[in-house]
Structure 1
C-alpha cells in the first residue's frame, strides 16, 4: 500500500483502503495475480490478464508493485519476464501497458529492456506529487 499512497505510479484515489483496492488488484479468471515473498513479507505483486474484453482480449496487460525497500534487486525484471512468458504461453498476440508514468524512469527503462516499445505518450494526464502534470506512456510488445 506504500506505493499506492505515494501517488507516483498509479492513479488511485488518495487514502484508499486495502478493501477498496483489493477488487481492482485481484485479477479475475483468464488472468492471475501473483506475489513474491521474502520470508513472510510480500515484496512484489503483479496482475496480468486481457487488456480489454471482447475484441481486445487477444492482447495482454499487466500491472506491477515492488515494495520500495526491495527495488533494484531484480524482482521487477523477474516478474516482467514471467508476465511476458505467461502471455505467450496463454496465446496472447501482444502485451500492452496502458499507463506507464513518464516520470517513472526505472519502470520505463525496465520495460524497454524487456522489448516493450513506447508507442506514444499522452501528455499531462498524470498528476505526479513531485513533478506536477506528466505524461503516461503506452507501451507494447508483439508476442507473435
Structure 2
C-alpha cells in the first residue's frame, strides 16, 4: 500500500468512498444528502493542509485529509479525518492513514492533533486512535444521531506531541 497526495483525477474514486461513509450515517457528521461537489469542497483541503489517498496498485483503498484545527490562537493544533472503502476495512488502511497524518503534523511542528467529533459508537476507530496515542478528553452526550443506536456521544480526542 502506498499513501500519496490526492490529485484531481482521484475524485471519481474518492467520491464513492465518501458518499458511502456519509450516507451510512454511522461515523461522520456530514450531511448525508451532500452532492459530489459539496463533498469535494469539504473533503479536499487547501494547502497548507493536505489530502491523500491510500492505493494498492490502481485500487484506491481510502483517503484522509489533515490541516490546522482552528486558526489564530488555536493554530498550533492539527486535525485529520479518514475514510476507508468498505471492502478494505480491517486491513490496516485506517491505521496507516492515521499514522501518516500524525507524522505530517509532527513534521510541521504542531503541538498535537485533535479530533473534534468521533462517534463513541465507532469503537473500532476509538481503539485505533487510542493505540496511536489519543485519549478521549471529553464527550458531548447525545450529539450524534446514529441510525440504529439513536443518540450517542461524540468524543473529542487528543494526541499531544
Q: TM-score range by the shorter chain?
A: over 0.9
1:45 aligned residue? 63
CA–CA separation in structure 2 for the residues paired with 1:56 and 1:49: 12
SS at match of 1:64: strand
2:120 aligned residue? 102
After TM superposition, the structure 1 stretch with the greater mean CA deviation from structure 2, 61-70 or 13-22, is: 13-22
**Residue-pair matches, total:** 143
1:120 aligned residue? 138
Deviation at 1:28? 1.2
Q: Does residue 1:86 correspond to 2:107, yes or no?
A: no
- TM norm structure 1: 0.96
1:60 aligned residue? 78
Residue deviations 1:6-62, cap 9 Å, x none? 011111212211111111101111110000123333211000010001111110000
Superposition RMSD in Å: 0.9
* 1:132-143 map, 5 Å: 132-143=150-161
**Which stretches in structure 2 are left out of the alignment for 5+ residues?**
1-18
Hey, which of these two has a bigger chunk of helix by percent?
2
**Which stretches in structure 1 are left out of the alignment for 5+ residues?**
none
1:19 aligned residue? 37
Out of 30, 33, 38, the residue aligned to residue 51 of structure 2 is: 33
SS at match of 1:130: coil
2:8 aligned residue? none
